[in-house]
Structure 1
Amino acid sequence: MVATDDTIDLREWVDMLRRRRKTFLVVAGALFVLSLVVALSWPSTYRSVATILIEDQDVPADLVQPAVTTSAVERIESISQQVMTRANLTAIVEKHDMFVEAREEDRLGPALDGMRRRIKVDTVDVDVVDPRSGRAGRTAIAFTISYDDRNAELTQRVTEELATLFLEQNRRSRSDSATETVVFLTAEAELLSDQIGDLEAQLAAFKEQNVTGLPELADMNLRLLDNTERHLVNIDSQIRALEERRHILEGDLAQVTP
């Protein structure tokens, strides 16, 4: 049997490894020890996490969409951008005496950029079924704010500051949203009142125009009577529907508190 070149090369490699086994073991052992030393000497990084529940809006979405409603993810993103401003982060840095050298050397900008990268905002999503459409999907019920730092106590304090800023900004955003909702619902209620008034005026005028023909049941007036009754029923139905919607809007308007 003739040995192939591949077999010869493989044997040569095996022989070389055997001859230099001690050298390989020494190098591998040195790398392991070095890796262990680096791992043990590497500064620990701590993470503090705050969880904030997402509250449903006060007014049903189907009444005000798309005028004054936004998704939870959009609200969180908007609040996050408002919280992560240079002014807010600088206030936290100065309050807790962070980045002393950067502040003394007027290099706070890069330090704040690094701080932003260590701040994480993530949503907590769950599977839900829309009761109106019956479709399954995922929705955010909460979101988390976390901050990483080598100082455990500082990590916790900064996370608490961020959570407070998020709650304060959310309160202001909800107040602004409530104000917009009040304006929208007030305008909607006034519009419905005008529509109801117009329909009632049409109903009164229609009855007055057909008052002489309505009591008579002559054959020539049967078709007119039937059309008149259908028209009256239609107008009455529209009035009742508008009044019901107006009552709902007035009830929701009373619950909204800016």
Structure 2
Amino acid sequence: MASTPVPGPGAAYVHAAEDETLTGEAVALDIQPLGFFLRAVGCLIDMVAGIVLLVAGSLFLTALVASGTIPDSALRIGVIVLIVAVMVVIPTAVETLTRGRSLGRWAIGGRIVRLDGGAVGFRQALIRALVGVLELWFTLGGIAAIVGMFTPRAQRLGDLLAGTASERTRTRPLPPSAPGLPPGLEAWAAVADVSRLPDRLAARMAQFVRGADALEPAARARVAAGLADAVAPHVSPLPAVDPETLVRAVAVVRRDREYRALMLENARAAALTPPA
């Protein structure tokens, strides 16, 4: 029976979820894998492009034979070379040169990467292409679909053997950074009491701060004045600022204090948890 290794002094464990990308330095990358449906669409596009190449190449070879440029005996060899080129050589070359991209993956916004997040090389691309002859071409994607439905990142058999996965290259832009404390209120923020602020009112303030720039000036001033009137009874001391500045300042102070409280709670919980 295999024994479980005992960690030495100072050893640490790194736990990674099945759908996380972990580098060699044990750093989890924030990479979004492509879903099963998008991978299937990209694969279908690539296969259609391959079929078009096969048909065009076959017509070209037939025309050469008909014109007497090449003998009839060379037609079968030419067809075999064409099939190998379309199914193995071209996918391997394209995937290697474009660092995991292809026509289908470009269309759906994805690419193939190694499991550690690095770009694929010739070896990974060749393995995927060779296995793809069976799971994509010979079974019309049947094996790839079955395997992809039961893997965390919708990996096909070629991915599992090559140690690769598919990631998104088109992601939503990050939201703008949260606004900071209005200038000149640092001393007030250090002593301000905002603990009595109701949660529902705090949520309304945060929503206003996020979308204030998109409001019309008149509507913006009206909403800020209403929020300031609702906030004033719950804040002490009350700074002598305009309504919008008050709302922004209170929202920042409450956010920062809630964040610090959360960090302290996590630190206490970590201190109470016995080491593994």
> TM-score category by the smaller chain?
under 0.3
Could you say which structure has the larger radius of gyration? 1
The TM-score, its normalising length taken from structure 2, stands at 0.24
Higher RCO structure (Cα 8 Å, ≥6 apart): 1
Bigger helix share: 1
The TM-score, its normalising length taken from structure 1, stands at 0.25
Bigger strand share: 1
